[in-house]
Every structure is written in C-alpha cells, then in structure tokens.
Amino acid sequence: MLLLVGLGNPGARYVGNRHNVGFMALQEIAKRHGIGPWRRRFQGVACEGPIGDVRCLLLLPGTYMNESGRAVAEAAHFYRLSAGEVTVFHDEIDLSPGKVRVKVGGGIAGHNGLRSISEHIGNDYRRVRIGVGHPGDKDLVYSYVLSDFAKSERPWVESLIGIVADNAGLLVRGEDASFQNKVHLALAAKGFFDEDDKQ
C-alpha cells in the first residue's frame, strides 16, 4: 500500500487556486485510473484502488493547508505506512510554471502544507513538486498562491495534470526519473516549453 496525498484547501472558493494544484493532480489520477468513490475518511476524503499493480490510498486532506499533516498522519498510522511510502503532490513557486520535479526529503521552502506533514510523520516522504511560478516579490506570494490560475494558464495546467495522471504508474513503481522525463517530454510535445529547457 502506498499513500498518495494531494495538497490544497477544501471548499469551493479555493478550487481553482494555484495552491490547489495538488488536489487537481490527485483527482485526475483517481479519474484516469478508475479509483473511487471518494469517501470521508482520515479528516478528509479518500479512495482506494490499484495504479498498475500497486494498491494505493489517495487522500485529499479536509483540514486547511497548514494542518494537512494531521490527516496524512492518521492515514499513515492506520495502514502502518512509513514516510517512505507516502507521496505528496503540491504546488512549488520555485519552479517555472509546468515544471515537475520529484524528490525525497529536503527542505520545505516555506510551504505550510509540507511543514505540517514533516512535523507529523518526519521529512523522508516523496514530493511531486508542480511548478506554478513565482510572483517576483516574496510579499506577494501569499495572495499569488491563493489566487486562481489565469485563463491563459489553464491549457498547460489541464495538460499537465492529465500527463501526471497518465504516468502515475511510473511514480508508484519508484521510477521517479522516468516519470519526470515523460512529463517533461509530453509537455514539450504539446508546445508548452522547449525540450532542452531543463530548469
């Protein structure tokens, strides 16, 4: 069993926010892999099913972002999962829009959702960092991530979450480099950025 977590804020007003791209990605994974239905569990909503031949629990915390760790810890403890069996999908302002990077452990770069998870289960979980870009001024970050993606951004956002979902099988098998490469090449093929753009 692996635990896949999408980060975001619950409620209709946050649905299109940059901060909710983790929710978007996980919901698309569930949809494309036929996993459901979503049920209220673990201080959020969860569904369970296979991605490829790996059984997975998908969790959207119903706490607000800065309390995400409570929901993650409850699910992880219930299934006796270590931090290494948890993968968290989240927005990343230090990556250009549309870039995706996977890493295990490391810093939290001021992300309150990651801070909460690290406080509850330790730091050695895997992160799927989904680039949303930076507003250019640190004082604008809060309002930027809690704003909706612009209409002009929606094509790459929709393409990206679809590509992430289609390649989730690579992630759950631990093929992180292959996953990153597939996502990058698929987005490049759609013309969202150049194939040699390696940020």
At 69-102, the pLDDT tens digits run 999 999 999 999 999 999 999 999 999 898 999 9
Interior CA angle at 97 toward 93 and 99, to 5°?
95
- Tell me the per-residue pLDDT of 157-196, one tens digit each, with 9 for 90 and over: 999 999 999 999 999 999 999 999 999 999 888 877 654 4
Residue 136 DSSP symbol: S
Which residues are known catalytic residues? 19
Nearest to 83 by CA among 131, 124, 54: 124
Q: Which two tokens stand for residue 191?
A: 């013309």
Please, which residues bridge with residue 176 across strands? none
What domains can be seen in the chain, in order of their start residue?
Answer: 2-189 (3.40.50.1470)
CA geometry: angle 123, 101, 6, nearest 5 deg? 60
Q: Per-residue pLDDT tens for 132-167? A: 999 989 899 999 999 999 999 999 999 999 999 999
Q: Give this prediction's pTM.
A: 0.93
